[in-house]
Chains A and B, each alone.
Chain A
Amino acid sequence: DGGITQSPKYLFRKEGQNVTLSCEQNLNHDAMYWYRQDPGQGLRLIYYSQIVNDFQKGDIAEGYSVSREKKESFPLTVTSAQKNPTAFYLCASTSSGGSQPQHFGDGTRLSIL
């Protein structure tokens, strides 16, 4: 079955540490996204990529970095510069244009040790 796989489901970060969240899709979608979800704030866009080797900052990109070396993969690194990383992170993908719905992974919950 086609879908999006996020791993790990739970992740803990120590002070000063960078951590990387994995997102893989086998839907052959061009566009991929990372969202951060905090209670009562809905989904906030961190980064998105419309094509391999290209990505754009979203509304809250500070303290995060991404890469898009392969169509199927869009990993997110939460750097030590992100002072409040505790949140639920969702990866999504879509085929094109903004006219097709997004498909979502099951999320990664990141907490601070």
Chain B
Amino acid sequence: DTGVSQNPRHKITKRGQNVTFRCDPISEHNRLYWYRQTLGQGPEFLTYFQNEAQLEKSRLLSDRFSAERPKGSFSTLEIQRTEQGDSAMYLCASSLVQLNEQFFGPGTRLTVL
């Protein structure tokens, strides 16, 4: 399968713990996006990479959130000191050429107890 993969698919953690998610984009795609989706809502943009450079972050993104994309390949999204409000589906997407379709992974569902 050469699609976007995300790990883990599910994560349950206690409030105050740190969590890290991984996204492996389609290999030749140079653009990578992170979105967050809560129940009944559409995905919400978090941040965007072009190759290894993080070029944009949402104003809504707390400083507890950090993302990296070393060497322009896979990406990680870390949430420090998790809160119950962080419970959501975290989606990763990649694309090759601007304005063309974004390919989404299956997401990581985070539950903060």
A, B assembled together: no
